[in-house]
Amino acid sequence: MPEGPEIWRTADTLNDAIQSRKAEQVFFAFDELKEYEDVLQGCTVAGVEPRGKALITSFDNGLNIYSHNQLYGKWMIRSKGEKPETNRSLRLAIHTQDASAFLYSASEIQVLEHHQVEAHSYIKKLGPDVVHPDTTYKEVIDRFNSETFRNRKLTTLLLDPGFLSGIGNYLRSEILFCAGVDPDLKCKDCSSGEIEKLASYSLKLPRRSYQTGGITTEDVLVESLKREGASRKEYRHYVYGRNGKRCYKCGEVIQVVKTGGRKVYYCPTAQK
């Protein structure tokens, strides 16, 4: 499933293609949304905004399309008159005079009035967005220190969008590694220094990934590994997806453990 950085980059791509442009035609695959095709036709796309792992596409008539890609949803952009070659099921299409935005395979699409957006069952529960530039270090460290979250295991907590939104599986492993924190710990088990590092990297790594197109490692390491002929897969992350490989910091072998059915990658020396 795409994480916060990927959702933000998707929003950027959609805004570049359809923002401030009139919707000449809108298509919904779901019968319950068909009535909005004519309502949105001729309206201008005000913008596309990330909300956790969902997107809100706003129109100048006050209506908004809520979409959540879940595991398989994917947006594709094409020039006007072109259509992607894919076997996926088309769920939503917004056609403007210059380009078309196609959403495939997504199962959760709704049309909301302006006042309904913040009250949406998913959006109203979201914690601070770690990619959003207005989210501050103080907000994040206050979440880690909150009595509401102190008794939660970190591996579970970091995937809870009600705690911090935008963190998924690869960012979870990377944050824990960079903070030097044992994946088995709860918030209350961590020292103040560890909490400070967790809060710092919970902002730093998602924003770095957003800026770099999915890379969480530092520029110096990336350039060094590139000179050695490393592939993108090899230099993209510190630990995520690197089970059995050597840790870039200490040389220990990266290990993986399943928790809640999902994999957490860690260095037994740097984090234990």
Residue 129 is classified by DSSP as B
Beta bridge partners of 95: 25, 100
> Which CATH number is correct for 137-266, 1.10.8.50, 3.30.420.40, 3.40.50.720, 1.10.3720.10?
1.10.8.50
> Amino acid identity, residue 37?
E
End-to-end Cα, the chain, rounded Å: 28
CA-based nearest residue to 205, from 241, 252, 170: 170
- CA–CA separation, 22 and 3 (whole Å): 29
**Given 9, 53, 207, 236, which residue is catalytic?**
53
Active site residue 53: yes
pLDDT given at position 261: 85
- CA–CA separation, 179 and 201 (whole Å): 7
> Which CATH number is correct for 4-125, 3.20.190.10, 3.30.465.10, 3.30.590.20, 1.10.3210.10?
3.20.190.10
pLDDT given at position 72: 86
**Given 124, 262, 268, 272, which residue is catalytic?**
262
For the chain (272 residues), the mean pLDDT of every run of 10, in chain order, is 91 98 98 98 98 96 95 92 94 97 96 96 97 98 96 96 96 98 96 97 98 97 96 96 96 94 94 87
- CA–CA separation, 75 and 173 (whole Å): 26
- CA–CA separation, 155 and 158 (whole Å): 6
Burial of 32 (0-12, 13-18, 19+ CB in 10 A): exposed
Q: Where are the domains of the chain?
A: 4-125, 137-266
C-beta of residue 167 within 8 angstroms of C-beta of residue 179: no
Active site residue 262: yes
pLDDT given at position 1: 67
- CA–CA separation, 148 and 170 (whole Å): 24
C-beta of residue 162 within 8 angstroms of C-beta of residue 252: no
E-state strands within the chain: 25-28, 45-51, 54-59, 63-68, 74-79, 90-95, 99-104, 108-113, 255-259, 262-266
Active site residue 49: no
The predicted model scores a pTM of 0.94
pLDDT given at position 61: 97
Ramachandran region of residue 165, left (φ > 0), alpha (ψ -120 to 50) or beta?
Answer: beta
